[in-house]
Structure 1
């Protein structure tokens, strides 16, 4: 969820990595990074873990990259960041029913919390991922909301727009479940705006679909059709969005 490579001040390598990442080319982006330093190894692992979340594939590559990052980590911040990625990968494997690694996910994020100091740049991402576990594994929306709000405040303080788009999206999702349509629409709209401004194409289709869920016709259909266009453009990524983008007649035939 790092915002590396999103501004004009970033070096050419980070800009190239960002452009590939935003277009669902995680393997190509990772290939640009030589895991010779803790930072490069961690960024490479992060890219390949993110690939798992969007494609439900590449688990072994992510594991290998993560082990390298863990071996190179020396400071508390580096160890904490690697533990955060370990927890995220275990969360993804559990979410997609590859293997139940929920206990590992909680333990790894707990370890990260002990290593990453409050107020450190890596803390908001950790808070966000703890919110994901609370929402999707523990089924505790109150705990999830509290974690997302901490992450939201931290992303604002540390100027991490991509993470901010994620916290807007997930807070809006909780609001929608509680029937708070206006709050949900605002959050989804903010998430979409940020992703479009960043050029984060791979995350734009999910944002369009979420906003469509809060809109009336014909706007809802327009948003979903734009999401379908992006989904096809990126080769069917994210994979888990496919059923949300099925044409109405397909939905009816499968009912």
Structure 2
């Protein structure tokens, strides 16, 4: 642990990890962090988040995600690290419930509640936690009012931190609620912003869902073009995300760590 804290342990290049993640190569990105994760709580958590995101997009790899998360939980040494691990625990439980692998709603709520209790209001981990609490409210509890409140807090925090990936998600989910409310202009703006940010940061694996969402609130000719491009990208990524390749599956709902 001391080696990791003083910087002498080998570290995977963050740009390489991001490049692999953004192209849907979650296992390869996680493999780069495997040795470092044994020494560094931050690397262990990043690796767990990668594998949880893989489970969301591929609908598989649950055992790998669980093992990586247990390592991150076991290596946490302070409230900030424990809160981040609890936030990831709540997210994994949420994703498993959303995709109907297991009903883990109670676990998701309890873990996110633990994370909230450990994080002060201005902590860097707050925006992601607020976003994930919004996901539970929107998609599992069916409470759009609570979801909107949580998403707005997350959106403000992501703007302050200049976290463009999280902003792409907060825009997306605020747009979804606007669409449900019949505010198609607001929904179109939010989905367009989400797409713009994903293209800006090169989050390639997340562009197809953004295109599909924008298509749902676009005029017919444009919508057809957006859906065709979304389908092309899903094919290019080998059928990922699975819920776009299989329309009956649940839609995309959440990001991993930025």
Q: What TM-score do the two structures reach when normalised by structure 1?
A: 0.90
Task: Answer whether contact 2:12 2:32 (CA < 8 A) is retained.
Answer: no
Aligned partners of 2:141, 2:127: CA distance in 1, in Å? 20
CA distance in 2 between counterparts of 1:207 and 1:230 reads: 11
Partner residue in 2 for 1:156? 159
Distance 1:121 1:64 in 2: 25
- In the other structure, the counterpart of 1:5 is none
Q: Which residue does the alignment assign to 2:30?
A: 30
Q: 2:240 aligns to what?
A: 237
In the alignment, the residues of structure 1 paired with residue 31 and residue 90 of structure 2 have an alpha-carbon distance, to the nearest angstrom, of 23
SS of the equivalent of 2:109 reads helix
Segments of 5+ residues of structure 2 without an aligned counterpart are 1-10, 249-258
Q: After TM superposition, what 4+ stretches of structure 1 lie above 3 angstroms from structure 2?
A: none
Inter-partner Cα distance in structure 2 for 1:185 and 1:243:
24
Match of 2:91 in 1: 88
Q: Partner of 1:210 in structure 2?
A: 213
**Given the alignment, which residue of 111, 114, 119 partners 1:111?**
114
What's the counterpart of residue 72 of structure 1? 75
1:227 aligns to 2:227 (yes or no):
no
Corresponding residue for residue 249 of structure 1: none
- In structure 2, the residue matched to 1:45 is 48
1:71-108 CA-to-partner distances (Å, cap 9, x unmatched) read 11011110000000000000011111111110000000
Q: From the superposition, tell whether residues 73 and 12 of structure 1 become closer, same or farther in structure 2 (CA, over 3 Å).
A: closer
- Residue aligning to 1:252: none
The CA distance in 1 between the partners of 2:195 and 2:73, in whole Å, is 33
Unpaired segments ≥5 residues, structure 1 = 1-10, 246-255
Counterpart check, 1:101 vs 2:101: no
Report deviation, 1:114.
0.7
CA RMSD of superposed structures (Å): 1.2
Q: CA deviation at 1:235?
A: 0.6
Mapping of residues 161-176 of structure 1, within 5 Å: 161-176=164-179
- CA shift for structure 1 position 12: 7.3
TM-score, structure 2 length as denominator?
0.89
The reply to whether residue 196 of structure 1 matches residue 202 of structure 2 is no
Shift of 1:244: 4.1
The CA deviation at 1:217 is 2.3
Q: In structure 2, what is the Cα distance between the partners aligned to 1:219 and 1:119? A: 41
Could you list the per-position Cα deviations for residues 180-203 of structure 1 after superposition, in whole angstroms to 9, with x for gaps in the alignment? 000000000000000001110111
CA distance in 1, matches of 2:88, 2:73: 10
